[in-house]
A and B are shown apart, each in its own frame.
Chain A
Amino acid sequence: MALYLIDKPKGEIALKMASLDSEAVIVLIQDGVYLDPDAYGKFKEVYAIEHDVVRRGIKEKIKDRARIIDYHELVNIILKHEKIINFA
């Protein structure tokens, strides 16, 4: 099961690629929180970093499409995955 860490500049190609992976777990980070993964496919889990969401004022907007996590949770999620593919 691979974890895809995604920021906006590489977001489109990252989500297109991850959409082919039925086990993909997505983490939206920095400007990546502006992305809408639903537009690219169905993903097993989608997370967004709270710090990045709150600073951009989109917590309400994003909460239906991603689970909001802090950096401690991000570290735990990273440690649970053997494969991390960085698009951030």
Chain B
Amino acid sequence: MAEKKVVVMITHPPFGSIYYTEGLRAAVGVTSGIDEHTVDVLLLGDGVYYALNNVDRKDSAKYIQTLTGINSSIYAEEESLKERGINSKELSPFVRVISRKEALRLLLDANHTIDF
């Protein structure tokens, strides 16, 4: 199988469900094996709450460490952040903010998208 570009979208907030941590785990899973797929994570809607710097990441820090270590990007959509009153100073350093238009381009350019 040729290398694929994959985007994992996370639209659920952290805690109260397994979506965000399973999404991050799946993103790591995409990169495993010999196919060398590339993966980026896109935080959308309530998923952007995960971008907050003070989020407890005991259960997911290892995924972030792995993803950033292999040059995967963790994006947060700017409009979703604004709609929830989150400013850029509150974000974790590993998060890259992109506009809705840029997020859409990311999805359209991907070979596959997976939503959590």
State the A residues within 8 Å of B (CB): 2, 9-10, 12-13, 16-17, 20-21, 83, 85-88
Contacts and interface: CB of A to CB of B under 8 A. Distances in A.
B104 A10 contact: no
Contacts of A88: 115
Contacts of B115: 10, 86-88
B64 interface: no
A16 B79 contact: yes
B27 to A, nearest CB: 16
A14 to B, nearest CB: 9
Interface residues of B, number: 14
Given A13-B44, A87-B115, A20 B101 contact: yes
A10 B108 contact: no
A13 B108 contact: no
